Structure formats: structure tokens, C-alpha cells
Amino acid sequence: MPEGDSVWRAAARLHEALAGKRLTRSDLRVPRFATADLTGRTTLDVTPRGKHLLARFEGGDGDDGLTLHTHLRMDGAWHVFPAAAKWRGGPVHEVRVVLGTADSTAVGYRLPVVELIRTADEDRVVGHLGPDLLGPDWDPARAATNLLAAPDRPLGEALLDQRNLAGIGNIYKSELCFLAQVTPWTPVGDLPDPEVTTVRLAGAAHRLLRANVGERAGHGAHRNTTGSHRPGQDLFVYGRARRPCLRCGTPIREARQDDRPTYWCPSCQSGPTP
């Protein structure tokens, strides 16, 4: 599943292509909204909210504005092409959304969530989310309070719960637990000085995601959490099973947590393991 920084970049590309422009083409290829037509409306903005994408359109006859809500989950992707260019995101039958302007076309492939709602009703689809790590509502103290609300819950699961803080995916989960020097199975309440550690974790998550949405990250961002520019040393533990820890040399371990591959260093990180 894409991390919050990937969704942020997708939103930025869509916003650049669509915002302030009138739609000349609209095609929602999902049964529920197959007859909906946004042609003629102007795109106001495309905004990320955690891992959700909200494309907002000006009001028309009988409405005060509409929002196209999409979510990428595991396989979804948005691509932007020049208006006359051939699409290259997958077979045509995987296209779920087409939004075109005079000079560009945004195509959503394999989108598992496509929903057209009144802009005034956005809270219905994203109101449950915790503070957005990359959004204007970011609040590390509130994120820490949310994490501490279930002290018996394993830290890895708590970090992935978008109701606590929005934007962390499986990669950042493993990396943040490494930085906190605890295993992902450690209960939140068992963290060293939980009140302080959760605030620091929230702050670290914010810094890491921010670092990976900058100009350096580019469109096809190669995510980096270590600060190293050496090949194969961009992540501390994620995807490094059986390879030596960058800090101590101990082989990295891998196991499943909530059916997701999870990585940790058995020497640098203390706490329970499977």
C-alpha cells in the first residue's frame, strides 16, 4: 500500500495538471457513477488526506461543489499524460477514471475506491482520520494521545491505524520502530517513557515523510530514511531480511504482523517478537 508521501506526490501531479482548468472529458468507469458527468466543471484543487485523494470541482446546477474521492490501496495508480499522448499505465480494462482538459489527461488505474460526493460531505469519507502527517492539521501531541489511547496495542499496528495518525504505511512502520529501538510487537504502553516516546515517534514520522516529498524525491521517489546515499543503504530494516543491520551488523529478521511483512533488528530493537 502506498505511503503518505507517495499519495502526496500523486496529488501534486494531479493538482498541477487539473487545478484551475475546465474539464473537457470525464469518465468514471465504476457502475455506481457510470452516468456521472463532470465535463464542463473547473477543478478547484486536488488535495491529499492521509492516503486518500480528494479532487474538488466547482458547483453546477443544483449542487454546491463535488469531490471525487479515490484511494490507491495496494495496486491503484494515477498517471498524467499530454492530451494527445498514448496512455501507458496498464490495459484499458483497468482504467477506472479519466479526467481530461485541453492539454492533459489524468487516468486512474486499478483504483479500488472511486466515489463522487458532495464537497460538503467529505467528512463522511475522511473524518475518521487522525492528524495528517503531511497536512495543515498535523499535531504531534494529538497523534501521541491517539497512540496512547490503547496501551496494550502493538506499536506496529497502532502506527498503521490511520485513525491515530494518517500517512504511515508498512515501510515507515518498520523504520520508525527501528528508530525507536523497539520491536513492532511492543505494546505502546511498554515503550520507554511512553508519553515522551510517542511524541518523538510522531515527530520522526513527520520529518521522514517530509524529507521524501521534497524536490529531491522526484516523481518516482526512491524513499530514503537513513540519510545514506550508498547503494542498498536507503532503508534501515525494511526489505533487508537476512542482510546485516546498518548499525550493528546483525542479520535483519522478517515476520508477519497483521498479515504484512515486518522487519526488525534483533540486537538494536528490544521487545517481544513472534
- Cite the active site residues: 2-3, 51, 260
What single-letter DSSP state applies at residue 88? -
Of how many residues is the chain composed? 274
CA angle in degrees (0–180, nearest 5) for 77-82-83: 105
Cβ 18 vs Cβ 2: under 8 Å: no
- Quote the CA–CA distance of 128 and 49 in Å, as a whole number: 11
- Quote the CA–CA distance of 76 and 96 in Å, as a whole number: 10
- Quote the CA–CA distance of 118 and 68 in Å, as a whole number: 9
CA 257 to chain centre: 19
CA 94 to chain centre: 21
Cβ 130 vs Cβ 198: under 8 Å: no
C-alpha cell at 98: 479519466
What single-letter DSSP state applies at residue 219? T
